[in-house]
Amino acid sequence: MNIIKVKDQDLGGKEAFNIIATAIKNGAKVLGLATGSSPITMYNEMTNSDIDFSNMTSVNLDEYVGLKADNDQSYHYFMNEHLFSKKPFKNSYVPDGSNPDAAAATSEYDKIIADNPIDVQVLGIGRNGHIGFNEPGSPLDGKTSKVALTESTIEANKRFFDDEKDVPRYAYSMGIGSIMKAKKIILVAYGENKADAIAKTVNGPVTEDVPASALQNHPDVTLILDDAAASKL
Ligand code: F6R
């Protein structure tokens, strides 16, 4: 794994953006994207850049089950706000959280992933080591599935909702097997509360208990970390 240490999240966003810009110059056409607070500075760099994404495709990692795209807590909405409304892509895919038929929603998304092989996948990481919404115990070779969010994730995400009971309990998430098929992976993590997960990701055994540890088996992963997130390495 390559590790780039940065002073703060703004500089991390620039580093992540530079990797993406270089990949695009070298022919990348499909970006795998994440939501959450960690990639926001990278999206700011993308929206302020002069790169035209209108011939590219994006495939997002996950979406809450039960939220429509126009719900302001949905990941669709987040992506529109932070990126797509300012820098449209030719096609942008996010799992369809409004589809209650999990088998249909997940197989439809697996077809989208198969039809659009990901050149660069951007990831954040949960305090418990989740990537996408693949919580501890998820199979390291899995495809898209409906996942139950853990208490730790619900607790971490409640900051975005008026009331904890409004936090959805399920999500559709791209599987770790699909994430691992991306040609290149960038994981961004900032803050002390990510330090344990980062230490286990880099130095721990590869185990379903720490989903991000699977990345040790990928040939092209870059972790972009501030000092706090890197403090237990
Ligand atoms: C979001 C996602 C999650 C987040 C993770 C970290 O699409 O896939 O794995 O990346 O929960 O979230 P933040 O960046 O808000 O700490």
- Mutation test of ligand 1: which of 130, 158, 215 has the most ligand atoms closer than 8 Å to its C-beta? 130
Cα(156)–Cα(6) distance, integer angstroms: 24
Cα(193)–Cα(119) distance, integer angstroms: 29
130 among known catalytic residues: yes
Cα(10)–Cα(19) distance, integer angstroms: 15
Q: Which fold has domain 2-125+141-226?
A: Rossmann fold (3.40.50)
Q: What are phi and psi of 69, to 5 degrees?
A: -60, -30
Sign of CA dihedral 73, 75, 80, 81: positive
Atom index in ligand 1 nearest the CA of residue 191 equals: 16
72 among known catalytic residues: no
Given a contact cutoff of 8 angstroms between Cβ atoms, the answer to whether 135 and 147 are in contact is: yes
Atom index in ligand 1 nearest the CA of residue 60 equals: 7
pLDDT digits (tens, 9 = 90+) for 24-33: 999 999 999 9
> Ligand 1 center to residue 222 CA distance, Å?
16
pLDDT digits (tens, 9 = 90+) for 76-114: 999 999 999 999 999 999 999 999 999 999 999 999 999
Could you say which DSSP state residue 111 is in?
A: H
Query: Residues near ligand 1 with C-beta < 6 Å?
Result: 34-38, 61-62, 124-126, 130-133
135 among known catalytic residues: yes
Could you say which DSSP state residue 45 is in?
A: H
> Ligand 1 center to residue 226 CA distance, Å?
16
Percent of the chain scoring above 70 in pLDDT: 100
Q: Is the pLDDT of residue 21 over 90?
A: yes
91 among known catalytic residues: no
Strand segments (E) across the chain: 2-6, 30-33, 57-60, 62-64, 91-93, 120-123, 145-148, 170-173, 184-189, 221-226
